Structure 1
Amino acid sequence: ITPQGLLEGAPHAQHIHIGGTNSCPSNDMEGSGANGALQVTDAAGSYGAIAVSLTTEGDTSPDSGLAVDRFPVGNPTYSRTLQVSPEVAQQIAEGDGVVVLHGVDLNGSGTYDGDVMSDLDPSLPEEATDPAACGTLDVASMSMPGGGADTGAGGTADGSSAAFVVGGAALVAAGGAGVIALRRRDAEG
């Protein structure tokens, strides 16, 4: 993932969401946040629940959905090879799912703040968790590796691969090979 325009110096949660209509909300969708900002639950019917947390290290399950200490900070390129369950691998292979990057600076203060709290964690301002960008998975452009990941893990019991490569040729966003077409919501509209 190669993001652009995210808040520098701030962590940005990023996930593969599966469910709902497996689509991204329209850029003009009105949300329940400050001045109509889109909050996570506003778009859950479009992109569904977290299936994979795209952390920089450690656990990648939905349990790490708000592990802000393990998500990229600012706009660095993200690339990581992940093991996912056979069910998630199948859903991705079928083209279900979207990648969502979170964290916006709605008021231009240079930090996550504001009076409206997150719909996911009331101890955080909404800016920390609001969706910043969303891209649908384009299976035709993906490369699904065969066998186990390069770490030496084998395939699944049924012989199908549960490895999913994030980055490189498999999943590129914003200025990449077009695997994910990011749709950004303007903070002012």
Structure 2
Amino acid sequence: MRKSLTAAAALALGALPLALSAPAANAADGTFTANLTQLNDSGVTSTATATLKGNTLDIKLQSQGLLEGAPHAQHIHIGGMGVCPTNDQEGSGANGALQVSDAADQYGGIAVSLTTDGDTSPDSGLAVKRFPTGNASYSRTIKLDDKTASAISAGKAVVVVHGVDLDGSGKYDGDVKSDLDDSLPEEATDPAACGVLQASQMSQMPAGGVQTGGGSTAGTEDAGLIALGGTLLVGGAGAALIASRRRRTAEDQA
């Protein structure tokens, strides 16, 4: 009997390291989407889809309602509350138009400039010639720093598209200057649409089997079963030990 108990206990203890070492999914990886809605009554809507693998981001944007023939700066913002202002939020621009700095506490500062080529750092935040024109679709692979990748993973990164024809003239003009560059009219930089990047539901669904990376939760159910098996084995060893002691007590009393 003692030999059987020892074997059961060894099997139970051997199962515990399996439960503890079961691979976990990399929470930073996954697919993220943002549905951008209008600011400043721009009439602009946009959809952003991004796939994050480590610090590499594949991102696509498709917008509607932007001023045709005009460049539209677009960025990923982090460091704020990770939210967008509402369309009716007033700012310091003409007739209460919302300027970039008016909502900086909400969406944060520029982390990535979604330019068509070249540099993507905040230094290119106003690189007018390297941003999409009008409703042109956008697609690019970008290398991120750790802080930005973490913000996206945590659902705290915000996509903002800029450029609003406030007076309907068909071009960027007006007497009020941009709060980012006083050589530009505010219309060139005022936010037109905003949306928070959120983890896609599909990217959170188990794909089956034990996986690492890819943002999948696959394998967590296996880890739970392994842990449960270890618990049952430990419980079985304990029950066997109690039964053995009872038999030996009965034999001594007989």
Amino acid at match of 2:133: V
Partner of 2:183: 123
1:80 correspondence with 2:145: no
Query: Which SS does the other structure have where 1:2 is aligned?
Result: strand
Amino acid at match of 2:160: V
**TM-score, normalization by structure 2:** 0.55
Amino acid at match of 1:75: N
Partner of 1:20: 80
Given candidates 130, 134, 142, the residue that maps to 1:70 is: 130
Partner of 1:149: none
Q: 1:66 to 1:108 in 2, by over 3 A?
A: same
Partner of 2:163: 103
More helix by share: 2
Partner of 2:112: 52
Per-residue deviation, residues 28-49 of structure 1 (Å, max 9, x unmatched): 1011100111000001011000
Give the superposition deviation at 1:141. Answer: 4.8
Query: Which SS does the other structure have where 1:46 is aligned?
Result: helix
Q: Distance in 2 between matches of 1:113 and 1:59?
A: 27
Amino acid at match of 1:10: A
Partner of 1:43: 103
Give the superposition deviation at 1:140. Answer: 3.1
RMSD: 1.5
Could you tell me the percent identity over the aligned residues? 71
Q: Distance in 1 between matches of 2:97 and 2:168?
A: 14
Per-residue deviation, residues 56-103 of structure 1 (Å, max 9, x unmatched): 000000000000010000001111111111221111111111000000
The unaligned stretches of length 5 or more in structure 1 are: 144-159, 162-189
Partner of 1:172: none
Partner of 1:5: 65
Mean CA deviation greater in 90-99 or 53-62: 90-99
Amino acid at match of 2:115: T
Amino acid at match of 1:51: A
Query: Which SS does the other structure have where 2:161 is aligned?
Result: strand
**TM-score, normalization by structure 1:** 0.74
Query: Which SS does the other structure have where 2:149 is aligned?
Result: helix
1:31 correspondence with 2:77: no
More strand by share: 2
Partner of 1:114: 174
Q: 1:103 to 1:136 in 2, by over 3 A?
A: same
Amino acid at match of 1:20: G
